[in-house]
A and B are shown apart, each in its own frame.
Chain A
Amino acid sequence: MMPRERPLSPHLQVYRWQITMTMSILHRATGCALAAGAFGFAWWLVAVAIGPEAYAQFTGFMRGPLGLAALFGFSFALLYHTFNGIRHLLWDVGYGYEIPKLYATGWAVAALTLVTTLALWFLGWTGDVA
């Protein structure tokens, strides 16, 4: 006989929204997205190795609307995961556990991600980079 489904604790929906939980969920979500991005990066290298036709196929996809949307998502995810990853590494060495610092570093990561993502796309879009 299957045991009756009992309510599980804690319920996510009883919590008042906090930036800390959003940052935590986003860190995992961007990590999963970047896992897909890793295979996109592998596709890039493999296409270069195979030859001009395979590379044209790759760039054809990446320069289309779907490819650009994916690239935008990956760039955002990469920057977020990188900045929030630094936050995680700081916790690992014992820095920033106080509630005010937790909130301040959270907002700093959000601001840095926004600014650097936009800056990156401005650089890429206007062309002539390095």
Chain B
Amino acid sequence: MSARAPNLRDPLACARGLGSAKAGSHHWWMQRVTSIALLLLAPWLIWIVLHLLRADHATVRATFAHPLQATLAIAFVVSMFWHVKLGLQVVIEDYVHGWMEIAAQLANSFACILGAVASLVAIGRIAFMA
């Protein structure tokens, strides 16, 4: 998209910047933001899983209790469940319709938020009760 591309929007629409998409552009943008966050955290995820593959409970707990690992784990869990919510939302929009769609979207939101909260409580308990 070059700056010289013909622009059919009036100046006010350009200033508002959102076009007609409104929340849709926010969904699209947050899917990209969370994907880049996950891309940056992917090496950490692979490292920590390989590192703790054969470790006993005390070692795993001590590893996650370290402030650096706890921080990265929180960043990963939040970006992951956020990205999952946005992705599943689009899949549901494509294949499920009517009342089933509303039920599926609610279930998606609640499940992802619960998964994220449970992970955060777990990391907090590990980090603060070390």
Contacts and interface: CB of A to CB of B under 8 A. Distances in A.
Interface stretch (A14-22, A44-52, A100-108): A44-52
A42 B39 CA distance: 19
Contacts of B51: 129-130
A8 to B, nearest CB: 14
A32 B64 contact: no
A124 B53 CA distance: 7
**Residue of B38, B46, B81 most packed against chain A (CB within 10 A):** B46
A52 B57 contact: yes
B126 A35 contact: no
Interface in B32-56: 32, 35-36, 38-39, 42, 45-47, 50-51, 53-54
B32 A48 contact: no
B108 to A, nearest CB: 9
Contacts of A35: 84, 87-88
Contact of A129 (B35, B50, B77, B126): B50
Given A51-B57, A89-B32, A46 B50 contact: no
Given A42-B118, A85-B35, A129-B53, A48 B60 contact: yes
Interface residues of B, number: 38
Contact of A42 (B32, B35, B42, B115): B115
A129 B123 CA distance: 23
Given A120-B46, A124-B53, A129-B51, A45 B64 contact: yes
16 contacts: A35-B84, A35-B87, A38-B112, A41-B80, A45-B64, A45-B126, A46-B121, A46-B122, A48-B64, A49-B125, A49-B126, A82-B39, A124-B50, A127-B53, A129-B51, A129-B53
B82 to A, nearest CB: 10
Given A45-B118, A82-B38, A89-B39, 12 more contacts: A31-B88, A32-B88, A41-B77, A41-B119, A42-B122, A45-B119, A45-B123, A46-B121, A48-B57, A129-B50, A130-B50, A130-B51
B61 A45 contact: no
Interface in A78-130: 78, 82, 85-86, 88-89, 92, 94, 120, 123-124, 127, 129-130
Interface string A28-63: 100110110011011001101101100110000000
Contacts of B84: 34-35, 38
